[in-house]
Amino acid sequence: MKERTKLFYLIALYLMAYFIPWAHPVIRQSGLEAFMMLQEYAREHVLTCLIPAFFIAGAIAVFVSQASVLKYFGAQASKILAYSVASVSGTILAVCSCTVLPLFAGIYTRGAGIGPATAFLYSGPAINVLAITLTAKILGWQLGLARAIGAVIFAIITGLLMSVIFKKDDAARTAGQIYVPDEEDKERSLFQDGIYLLTMVLILVFAAFAKPSPDSSGLWPAIFAAKWYITVFLLIALGWMLKVWFTKEECVNWVESTWGFMKQIFPLLFGGVIVAGFLLGRPGHAALIPEHYIQFLLGGNSLPANLFASVAGAFMYFATLTEVPILQGLIGSGMGKGPALALLLAGPALSLPNMLVIGGVMGVKKTAVFCSIIVVMSTFAGMIYGVIAG
């Protein structure tokens, strides 16, 4: 970090400490909500979601060769294969907009094209089978189906637009900055590497498996009841793989790579959570922006209502599945069907913490375009759905 940047942050902190009227009840409540949200995030998401995701990102950076990444996700890769894989990745990883960040950073820094990488970035939290199922059950099958179809289409269109807009940048990354080596000769087979990565993905999936609703029946409650037994078994299997298949040097490189991603992402992520909590609060807890103002602005199916839903959803942080009960309350207070879909398509995939982190990974310009594409598409998708659903 440059010295003038450090100075800017110090001045900003000083001005905040000097001028923010902490004695005012609303400001004081907003400050409390900011740290309550940070505590909730630390308790519910860091150990079971983020830490496994960081280790997966570290493994991708160390053990997945650039040649392999470029073959399936690179700027010159087959678009059908790249976007097919990227756009449905969320069906495997039930992650939130922040948990997907280290995974995105891992594939992007290893040379993935901007199109497939951003398609993956959107689809990871947006195309969540459990969340879509819960949406259909609680908010209606029409909204659940619209969310599923919209999320897949959005992932593909977003990636294609990003690849077209930043085609020159992608070409420069491929031609000037990335050396694509031949596949390395190593003792492990591709199958062994695949099993190793799959095991870590399954650890993430089961450790973060959300508690089903009380009236749920069938497979989901059974999986939830056995989630920790399965997770422990997978951890033991992972330990065995590391001992038998990997050298000590490889394990050290893996840990160092993971720590590198943590240092890059954690500070921005936690700072963004605090800001989001200060402005918007947690579900059911008021902060600086009163909830009834948001509800008032989200009624009907007008362009302003859908746009506001998209923008508000883009800045709010939604932990996996929390968007459903929030929307349930908003719809009950008069929120229109179109804005509901707009928020569902923009909210889980974006958040203020998410924006700050991806800005550090791929730059402010690309981040602004990525977020704008999602907000605009969510707005018009909400208006179309509002007309169809009546």
Within a domain: 33: yes
Closest C-alpha among 72, 129, 125, 81 to residue 102: 125
Tell me, yes or no, if the pTM score tops 0.75: no
Within a domain: 303: yes
Assigned token pair, 276: 């989001």
From CA 218, how far away is CA 223, in angstroms rounded?
A: 9
Q: H or E element: which one contains 246?
A: none
Within a domain: 358: yes
Within a domain: 142: yes
Within a domain: 5: no
Within a domain: 17: no
Residue type, 65: S
Query: How confident is the prediction along the chain (390 residues), in pLDDT tens digits per residue?
Result: 568 878 888 898 889 888 888 888 888 888 888 888 788 778 877 787 778 878 887 887 777 665 565 566 665 667 787 787 777 766 555 556 666 777 788 778 777 778 888 888 888 777 766 677 667 777 788 888 898 889 889 988 998 899 889 887 766 655 444 444 455 556 677 788 889 888 988 888 788 777 777 777 778 788 888 889 999 999 999 999 999 988 888 889 889 888 887 887 777 777 777 877 787 677 667 778 776 776 677 777 889 899 989 998 888 777 655 677 677 767 766 778 899 999 989 987 888 878 888 888 888 899 999 999 999 999 999 999 988 886
Q: Determine contact, residues 86/73, Cβ cutoff 8 Å.
A: yes
Q: Determine contact, residues 323/344, Cβ cutoff 8 Å.
A: yes
How many folded domains does the chain comprise? 1
Q: Domain range for residue 252? A: 28-210+219-389
By the 10 Å C-beta count (0-12 exposed, 13-18 middle, 19+ buried), 219 is classed as exposed
By the 10 Å C-beta count (0-12 exposed, 13-18 middle, 19+ buried), 163 is classed as buried
Which phi and psi (to 5°) does residue 299 adopt? Answer: -75, 155
Within a domain: 10: no
Within a domain: 19: no
Closest C-alpha among 246, 257, 114, 98 to residue 177: 114
Relative orientation angle of helices 79-87 and 66-73, to the nearest 10 degrees: 90
